[in-house]
Amino acid sequence: MLFDYRKFPRALVAALLLMCLAIPAAHAEDDDDEEEGFGFAIVTNAKWKAECGTCHVAFPPHMLPVGSWRAVMAGLEKHFGSDASLDAATSKEIGLFLETYANRRGSEPTAKPLLRITESRWFRSEHREVSSRVWSSPKVKSPANCAACHTRAEEGRFGEHDIRIPRV
Amino acid sequence: MSRMFSQAAAVLAAIAGLAAQPAFAATPDEVLATIKKEAAATPGFQGFSAARGETFFKEKHGGEWSCTSCHTDNPAAPGKHAKTSKTIQPLAPSANPERFTDMTKVEKWFKRNCNDVLSRACTAQEKGDVLTYLLTVRK
């Protein structure tokens, strides 16, 4: 006997369709929390990506507080030992982007802003299980080399699922 | 109807073609000509030299780094940032057609890298020598 779709209860069809829609949505929501970490949304800006992402991964704005970004942007001529200077218009746009999405959760020390993300309390805490052998491995070389372990760092994704620590 | 489709397809193909064209503002030869104009203003200018450019590129200039610290001895090969280890695309136009096609970008990087390697700005003579050398490098 052939299946008569006309007899199939409409309510059931509707429910099934709704479930199909609802499952990926729920999954995506779950992903956001898991993948991005700390519940920060992934934000982007073309100039930030191009200028800050040439020599290292373009570090997401939420990794430092406002005062730190201001200090970083004011010191680009000597940026951790390299000249990373920008023209005024580009610098202004990137500075605004960084400040808009900077980390505002912690209390910010006003005296001397922290310049290195790796010295942040949250960074140390998140990486406390990483052995010194991994840090000094030639495959990692610098703690600024996020992509050595965070396979999707370029996309701004630093969640647990996207970590592959190289064998040392 | 089918004619309309083929016309629309042609228009779309044309747009895609335009979009696929790299937005290079200049050729490396035009960039070199711009640098030459600046260098020619210096008394005693006698043109650029690839040999001088190569020496300049490979030598240290009193600091910790040379150009090769990041770009390697072979400018046609990918390099690696001396501090962060991030890959740097080849510098020689023969290996990377995007290089030296945007004067603003060229000036930005000469300013930064000359400061890092020489702790000063490069002269037009030095920039022209280096680009002349890079243009002789084959893949």
pLDDT tens digit string along A131-160? Answer: 999 999 988 988 888 999 999 999 999 999
Tell me which residue of A92, A53, A79, A58 sits closest to B112, measured CA to CA. A79
- Chain B partners of A84 at a C-beta cutoff of 8 Å? 112
Report residue B98 as tokens.
Answer: 């995007």
pLDDT at B70 over 90: yes
Contact assessment for residue A161 and residue B102, using Cβ atoms and an 8 Å cutoff: no
The three-state secondary structure class of A128 is: coil
Nearest CA to CA, how far is B111 from chain A (Å)? 8
Residue percentage of chain B with pLDDT more than 90: 78
So what's the pLDDT on residue A39?
72
Report residue A40 as tokens.
Answer: 């920060």
So what's the pLDDT on residue A13?
53
Task: Name the average pLDDT for chain A.
Answer: 83
* Mean pLDDT, rounded, for B27-31: 97
- The angle subtended at Cα A40 by Cα A39 and Cα A42, nearest 5°, is 130
CA–CA gap between residue A62 and residue A127 (Å, rounded): 17
| Crossing angle between the packed helical segments B28-40 and B124-136, to the nearest 10 degrees | 150
ipTM of the complex: 0.79
In this structure, the dihedral spanned by the alpha carbons of residues B44, B48, B50 and B56, taken in order and rounded to 10 degrees, is 60
So what's the pLDDT on residue B14?
52
The DSSP string of B68-88 is: HHHH-S-TTS-EE-TTT--EE
Out of B85, B115, B116, closest to residue A142 by CB: B85
A145·B84 Cβ contact <8 A: yes
Residue percentage of chain B with pLDDT more than 70: 83
Q: Higher pLDDT residue, B45 or A13?
A: B45
pLDDT at B127 over 90: yes
Q: Higher pLDDT residue, A142 or B22?
A: A142
Please report, for residues A40, A121, B99, the alpha-carbon distance to residue A67 in angstroms, rounded to integers and kept in the order given. 19, 16, 36
Neighbours of A58 (CB within 10 A): 19
Out of B84, B85, B111, closest to residue A83 by CB: B111
Report the amino acid identity of residue A91: S
Report residue A41 as tokens.
Answer: 């949304």
So what's the pLDDT on residue A112?
83
Q: How confident is the model at residue A24 (pLDDT cuts 50, 70, 90)?
A: very low
Which residues lie across from A82 on neighbouring strands? A79
So what's the pLDDT on residue A168?
82
A55·B111 Cβ contact <8 A: no
Which residues lie across from B88 on neighbouring strands? B79
Out of A83, A142, A147, closest to residue B116 by CB: A83
pLDDT at B23 over 80: no
pLDDT at B98 over 70: yes
Q: Give the model confidence (pLDDT) of A78-137 as tens digits.
A: 999 999 999 999 999 999 999 999 998 876 666 788 999 999 999 999 999 999 999 999
Global pTM value = 0.76
pLDDT at A54 over 70: yes
So what's the pLDDT on residue A107?
65
Q: Is the CA virtual torsion A54, B80, A145, A155 positive or negative?
A: positive
CA–CA gap between residue B42 and residue B31 (Å, rounded): 18
Which residues lie across from A150 on neighbouring strands? A163
- Chain A partners of B111 at a C-beta cutoff of 8 Å? 83, 85
Asked if the C-beta of A116 comes within 8 angstroms of chain B's C-beta atoms, the answer is: no
Per CB distance under 8 Å, which residues of B are interface residues toward A?
81, 83-86, 108, 111-113, 115-116
Q: How confident is the model at residue A11 (pLDDT cuts 50, 70, 90)?
A: low
CA–CA gap between residue B52 and residue B128 (Å, rounded): 10
Contact assessment for residue A162 and residue A42, using Cβ atoms and an 8 Å cutoff: no
B86·A83 Cβ contact <8 A: no
Report residue A69 as tokens.
Answer: 């970004």
User: How many pairs of residues across A and B have Cβ atoms under 8 Å apart?
Assistant: 38
Out of B85, B115, B116, closest to residue A145 by CB: B85
Residue percentage of chain A with pLDDT more than 90: 62
A83·B113 Cβ contact <8 A: yes
The three-state secondary structure class of A163 is: strand
Contact assessment for residue A63 and residue A48, using Cβ atoms and an 8 Å cutoff: no
Report residue B85 as tokens.
Answer: 């280890």
So what's the pLDDT on residue A28?
42
Name the one residue in this structure whose structure tokens are 């370029």: A154
So what's the pLDDT on residue A65?
94
A151 DSSP assignment: T
